[in-house]
Structure 1
Amino acid sequence: MQPTIAMCNIFDQDAERLAAFADQNGFSAIDWSLDPSLPERELLSQIKVLDGFQVRYHCRFHGVDVAYSDQRGDDSLALLLRTVDQVAAAGGRYMTVHSGLGNPSGEGIDLNRAITNLTTLVEHGRRNGVAVALENLTTPLTNDPLVFRRIVTESDAYVTIDIGHAHAVRHLHPHKSIFDEYILPHRDRLLNAHVYHTELDGYGHVPPADLADISDRLDLLGLAESCDWWVIELMNPSELLHTRDLLQNYLEASSPQTVEVRQPSSFPLGAI
């Protein structure tokens, strides 16, 4: 089964403008980055505008990290537990979270605390029908695929693989096949992929110039049957549409050829 190609909310929390753009450009799916300061009633009002689209949720909360070893970890967990409740109230079933967002040095974080708190969050999500997935970033702890694997395994979290982040940290692991390390161990738990070429400090996400930039990574994603949601994580509309066209070309080229099988119509009823 081919993945759904989704766009993120490139117009921030303006759901009406986003819905119009998505409809005009043939997108059926939205990966909605939540605003943690937005009251639940306003979130529900915005999401109502997106009726008719498939929607999954992205917790892009800078400085919110369940891995903090001090009070910030407790506060982060409390916020994300409430966010699970909001996503469930909106009818959502998928939510992506992070460790290390906005903390490039990894100051104040602890691996065991990350696992303990994420386990609590995952269990709360499961009770409320929300699959909580951890995304790999360019910062500790998840910029190391082995540490990422340990967190996911011990917390029982689902997985969101950002292929641009993986590309951006490849120099940190020169002796590893970085894309294999991030994708293949999670073939059965990988729900979402964030698709673009790479991330550059001071610039942000860089689109692929052509399919050659990302095709090897797309081939690996194709080995994870559970990964049915490819988000183009680019905010510039022209870059978004260009990358959408590349992905559509890739999926069309990789689709198995349909073979027409002629059904016998003249066999006697008793034939074997």
Structure 2
Amino acid sequence: MRFSKPEKGLEYTDWGLHFCSNIDENFKKGLNGFHAPIVDIGTPNNKKGLETLKNIVNKLDNADYLTIHLHNGKEPEYNTLLENVSELTEYSKEKNITLCIENLRNGFSSKPENIINVAEETGCKITFDIGHTPYENRMNCIDLFSDKIYNVHTYEKECDKIGHVAPKDLTNLKPVLDGLLNVGCDFWLIELMDVEEIINTKNMLNKYLEFHK
């Protein structure tokens, strides 16, 4: 699993910092989110990946949500995928955990219509990864995903060689952030690994929200 060790004075899970407009209230409630490892849940007659994810759910104490990938790079068999995500969604609900599926850069999960179809068919929520989506498609994703968006991975973009790129300013992110707030999503994960980049991005988001009010 991809858990980062908390840094002093900051609340970390996965690769970043939870951020939202009512962040203090959420932290008092024990806001805690996790990202599962990539496993195969789209191959018929193979329950290993599903059992791996169920075991993770069992180990999460006081978790608010769990984000999963729908596949490991291979094209999933659709009905098998729906069956497994539906089962995991219900299993997570029993533990008071919200299951979220994430859009990816390539393959099945890079197509927004596949993400929303799975979410609607199974009852799970969506983790919208901004950096996995081309600039020109981001607003369309927000319109399509709408109230299914539970949280957002927020950074500039992801590149093959250097990974997640921090924003230098909010020029490209501002329209997306506006759109997210318009559909009621103010819960974002600054998905960066460098502490200074996380803090700089957090400061920009705070200033953005001050002017957005």
- TM-score normalised by the chain length of structure 2: 0.85
Q: In the alignment, which residue of structure 2 is the partner of 1:57?
A: 34
CA distance in 1: counterparts of 2:128 and 2:157, whole angstroms: 13
| Residue 233 to residue 93, structure 1, CA distance change in 2 (3 Å) | same
Residues 99, 140 of structure 1: 8 Å contact kept: no
Number of aligned positions between the proteins: 201
Deviation for aligned residue 1:184: 2.0
Structure 1 residue 242 and structure 2 residue 200: aligned? yes
CA distance in 2: counterparts of 1:207 and 1:21, whole angstroms: 21
2:210 to 225, 240, 252: 252
CA distance in 1: counterparts of 2:195 and 2:64, whole angstroms: 27
Superposition RMSD in Å: 2.3
Q: In the alignment, which residue of structure 1 is the partner of 2:62?
A: 91
Deviation for aligned residue 1:154: 0.7
What's the secondary structure of 2:110's corresponding residue?
coil
2:49 to 76, 87, 102: 76
Deviation for aligned residue 1:139: 2.4
Q: In the alignment, which residue of structure 1 is the partner of 2:18?
A: none
Deviation for aligned residue 1:199: 0.7
CA distance in 1: counterparts of 2:196 and 2:14, whole angstroms: 19
Instruction: From the CA coordinates, give the structure whose radius of gyration is larger.
Output: 1
Deviation for aligned residue 1:56: 1.4
CA distance in 1: counterparts of 2:97 and 2:31, whole angstroms: 15
Deviation for aligned residue 1:228: 3.6
Deviation for aligned residue 1:213: 2.2
Q: In the alignment, which residue of structure 2 is the partner of 1:31?
A: 13
CA distance in 2: counterparts of 1:193 and 1:164, whole angstroms: 10
1:100 to 53, 65, 71: 71
AA matched with 2:71: G
Residues 134, 157 of structure 1: 8 Å contact kept: yes
AA matched with 1:117: N
CA distance in 2: counterparts of 1:115 and 1:99, whole angstroms: 10
CA offsets, 1:92-120, max 9 Å, x none? 1211111234x2xx25x222221111011
- TM-score normalised by the chain length of structure 1: 0.68
Q: In the alignment, which residue of structure 2 is the partner of 1:208?
A: 167
Is there any run of 5+ residues in structure 2 with no aligned partner, and where?
16-26
Deviation for aligned residue 1:219: 1.1
Residues 131, 157 of structure 2: 8 Å contact kept: yes
CA distance in 1: counterparts of 2:200 and 2:14, whole angstroms: 20
Residues 137, 162 of structure 1: 8 Å contact kept: yes
Residues 152, 158 of structure 1: 8 Å contact kept: yes
| Residue 180 to residue 52, structure 1, CA distance change in 2 (3 Å) | closer
Q: In the alignment, which residue of structure 1 is the partner of 2:119?
A: 152
What's the secondary structure of 1:77's corresponding residue?
helix
AA matched with 1:252: E
Q: In the alignment, which residue of structure 2 is the partner of 1:119?
A: 86
Matched-pair identity in %: 26
What's the secondary structure of 1:30's corresponding residue?
coil
